[in-house]
């Protein structure tokens, strides 16, 4: 795992070996469930999408890419998924998976290099893992390849506005105090690129949606403490960018705290931390799938929408 994508550079922004160590360390913490509120919430959404968003189908074999401790599996039923394979880069996470009523098999592998044959799975899910891969287009192609025709991919990943308040405050403070800045928050994909990447990978009938989860804190130091002590470290979400900066000067932190409160502070004195989530659904083509109508075949134009009641009444007659 992580052996083929460990080189630094513009095309490999993340140190995958470091990310594996971070996730392995996080999985061994005494009470990891206390740190998993974000993954639990998003995983529940992914499970609900698989349960009710796919026409109540039954999937004989499913794959969870970047499963961690099994945040999606616990929300699936045997009526929806008969057998599940969980894949993660960190073996310790797979050793500490939560209970599920579905028979599961755990496989240690890199999300970018799935060790499965083409046309293997009826369903592929992924929750809050793909934002750490170096080659997202390749990861999407790998997922598309292992899906059977008419199989579906349901995924969730952090979006580009995640922790924008923290990122902006730290950058402005570093520019002011140190004359430049380094990334302290991982880079994320823009939603405008996501549909294009999925389409290029071969998916059709795409659905892409965004949501935000906002958590309020007393101030920037509490944000940093919670992120480092709960969200980041316990969840294995520490920044693993090659060009990350290891330390922040105290003066810079104090300036960032003042900027954070001035720019984003709530009326009650707290400050928000925003997590943007991208949800995506894509299908692998099959002849049985419904196809869009041929261009120019419409009998009603958008200009007639204002007359919709009259058109419906006329159609009934």
Q: Could you read off the pLDDT of 105-139 as tens digits, one per residue?
A: 999 998 888 999 999 999 999 988 888 888 889 99
How many angstroms separate the CA atoms of 50 and 100, rounded? 15
Calculate ∠ Cα 98-101-102, nearest 5°.
95
pLDDT of amino acid 122: 96
State the CB neighbour count (10 A cutoff) for residue 146.
Answer: 21
Contact present, 241 and 183 (Cβ < 8 Å) = yes
Segment 208-221, tens digit of pLDDT: 999 998 989 999 98
Q: Highest mean pLDDT range out of 214-228, 275-289, 302-316? A: 275-289
Largest distance between two CA atoms of the chain: 76
**3-state secondary structure at position 68:** coil
* Sheet of strand 104-108, all strands in order from the earlier edge strand to the far edge: 104-108, 84-88, 62-65, 121-127, 147-158, 271-283, 204-217
Q: What is the DSSP annotation of 81-94? A: BS-EEEEES-HHHH
Rg (the chain; Cα; Å): 22
Sign of CA dihedral 140, 138, 71, 57: positive
pLDDT surpassing 50 at residue 231: no
Query: What tokens appear for 137 in the block?
Result: 């287009």
How many angstroms separate the CA atoms of 24 and 90, rounded? 5
How many angstroms separate the CA atoms of 105 and 84, rounded? 6
As a CATH number, domain 16-163+189-219+273-286 is 3.40.50.150
* Average pLDDT value for the chain: 78
pLDDT band at 22 (very low <50, low <70, confident <90, very high): confident
* φ, ψ for residue 27, nearest 5 deg: -70, -15
Nearest to 234 by CA among 38, 45, 94, 14: 38
> Percentage of residues in the chain with pLDDT exceeding 70?
70
pLDDT band at 192 (very low <50, low <70, confident <90, very high): confident
């Amino acid at each position: 795992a992580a052996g083929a994508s460990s080189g630094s550079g513009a095309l490999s922004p993340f140190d995958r070996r470091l990310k594996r160590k971070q996730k392995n360390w996080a999985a061994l913490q005494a009470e990891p469930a206390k740190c998993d509120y974000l993954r639990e919430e998003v995983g529940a959404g992914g499970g609900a999408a698989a349960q009710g968003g796919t026409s109540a189908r039954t999937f004989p074999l499913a794959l969870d890419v970047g499963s961690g401790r099994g945040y999606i599996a616990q929300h699936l039923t045997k009526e929806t998924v008969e057998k599940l394979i969980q894949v993660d880069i960190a073996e310790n996470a797979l050793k500490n998976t939560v209970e599920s009523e579905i028979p599961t098999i755990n496989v240690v592998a890199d999300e970018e290099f799935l060790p499965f044959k083409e046309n293997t799975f009826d369903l592929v899910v992924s929750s809050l893992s793909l934002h750490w891969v170096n080659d997202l287009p390749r990861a999407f192609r790998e997922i598309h390849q292992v899906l059977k025709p008419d199989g579906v991919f349901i995924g969730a990943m952090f979006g580009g506005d995640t922790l924008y308040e923290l990122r902006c405050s730290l950058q402005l403070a570093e520019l002011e105090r140190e004359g430049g800045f380094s990334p302290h928050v991982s880079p994320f994909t823009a939603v405008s690129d996501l549909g294009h990447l999925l389409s290029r990978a071969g998916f059709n009938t795409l659905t892409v949606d965004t949501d935000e989860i906002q958590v309020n804190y007393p101030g920037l130091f509490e944000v940093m403490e919670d992120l480092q002590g709960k969200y980041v470290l316990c969840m294995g979400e520490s920044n693993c960018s090659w060009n990350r900066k290891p330390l922040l000067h105290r003066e810079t932190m104090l300036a960032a705290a003042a900027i954070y409160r001035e720019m984003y502070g709530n009326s009650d004195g707290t400050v928000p931390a925003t997590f943007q989530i991208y949800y995506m659904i894509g299908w692998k083509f099959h002849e049985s799938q419904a196809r869009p109508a041929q261009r120019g075949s419409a009998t009603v134009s958008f200009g007639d929408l204002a007359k919709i009641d009259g058109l419906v009444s006329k159609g009934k007659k």
